[in-house]
Amino acid sequence: MAAAAFFTDDLALRVLAVTQGQWGERIAEHIGRFHPPSWTVKRWAAPRALPLVIDDPADFLPPTLPAATLILALGETPAVAQLIPDVARLAGAAAVIAPVDRNESLPPGLASQLQAWLTDMGIAGVFPKPFCSLTETTFNQPPLTVAYTHPAIRQFARHFGQPQFKISVDGDRRVSNVEVARDSACGCGKHVAQGLVGCPVAEAEFEAGMLHHHFPCLAGMNQDADYGDTLMHVSGNLVRDAVKAEIKDYLEPPPYFQPMGRVESQQGANDG
Decide which of 135, 159, 183 is a domain's last residue: 159
HSE of 76, CA atoms in CB hemisphere, 13 A: 17
pLDDT at 269 over 80: no
| Residue 255 pLDDT class (50, 70, 90 cuts) | low
More confident residue, 259 or 95: 95
pLDDT at 71 over 70: yes
Give pLDDT, residue 254: 58
| Residue 54 pLDDT class (50, 70, 90 cuts) | confident
Mean pLDDT of the chain: 90
Average pLDDT over residues 52-72: 93
Residue in 125, 158, 161 with CA at minimum distance from that of residue 141: 161
Are residue 195 and residue 142 in the same domain, yes or no? no
| Residue 49 pLDDT class (50, 70, 90 cuts) | confident
The Cα 171–Cα 93 span in angstroms is 50
| Residue 203 pLDDT class (50, 70, 90 cuts) | very high
Average pLDDT over residues 232-254: 92
Residue 261 inside a domain? The answer is: no
Q: Record the pTM.
A: 0.88
Backbone angles phi, psi at 23, to 5 degrees: -60, -55
Give pLDDT, residue 262: 54
Average pLDDT over residues 198-202: 96
Decide which of 143, 159, 175 is a domain's last residue: 159
In percent, how much of the chain has pLDDT > 70?
89
Residue 7 inside a domain? The answer is: no
Pair 83, 51: CB distance under 8 Å: no
DSSP label of 183 = B
Are residue 49 and residue 155 in the same domain, yes or no? yes
DSSP label of 186 = T
Average pLDDT over residues 241-258: 82
Give pLDDT, residue 272: 47
The Cα 28–Cα 89 span in angstroms is 20
Cis bond upstream, residue 216 (ω within 30): yes
Are residue 124 and residue 202 in the same domain, yes or no? no
How many domains does the chain fold into? 2
Domain span including residue 214: 164-250
**How many residues are there in the chain?**
272
